[in-house]
Amino acid sequence: MTALTQRTVARTFGSGGRVLVAALATILASTLYYMVFGEVYQHLRGGATATPDPLAIAVQLGRNILVAAVLAVLLHRLAINARRAAIGVGALVWLGFQAMAVLGSVIHEHYPFGLYLLHIGDALLATLVMVLVLVRRKA
C-alpha cells in the first residue's frame, strides 16, 4: 500500500466514522422516503406488500458502507470541502452511474418506468445524504 493510499484510507475511515454515519443516515433517509411514497410503491408493484427482511437490511447497510467509502475517497481525491461542491459531485455520480444503471433495466428488462422514477429518487436522496455527511468543511 502506497503512502498516499494509506493516508486516503486513514482519512476515509477516520474522523468519527463518517462512512458508517453516512451509511446509517442513508438507511434512515430511504426508510422515510418509502414511508412517504409507500402507497405509490405498492400501486406500482401491483398491490404487493414488501415486509423488510433483516438480512436484506444488513446487506443494504454493507452496500451503503461500501458506497460511502468510495464517495469519501472521491471527495478527498477531488479536494471537495464545501457542501455545494459535494452536492455537485453527488448529483453527477447519481446521474452518470446510478440513474443510468437502473435505466438499463427499463430499456433491456422492461422494468416499469414508474418504479424506475421512484427508485432513482431514493438513490438521489441517498447519494446526497452521503456526500453531505462525508464532506470535510474547511475549519
pTM: 0.85
Q: In which band, very low, low, confident or very high, does the pLDDT at 51 lie, cut at 50, 70 and 90?
A: confident
Distance separating alpha carbons of residues 104 and 14, to the nearest angstrom:
36
DSSP string, 65-112: HHHHHHHHHHHHHTT--SHHHHHHHHHHHIIIIIIHHHHHHHHHH---
What residue ranges do the domains of the chain occupy? 3-134
State pLDDT tens for residues 64-105. Answer: 999 999 999 999 999 999 999 999 999 999 999 999 999 999
Interatomic CA distance for residues 42 and 114, integer angstroms: 11
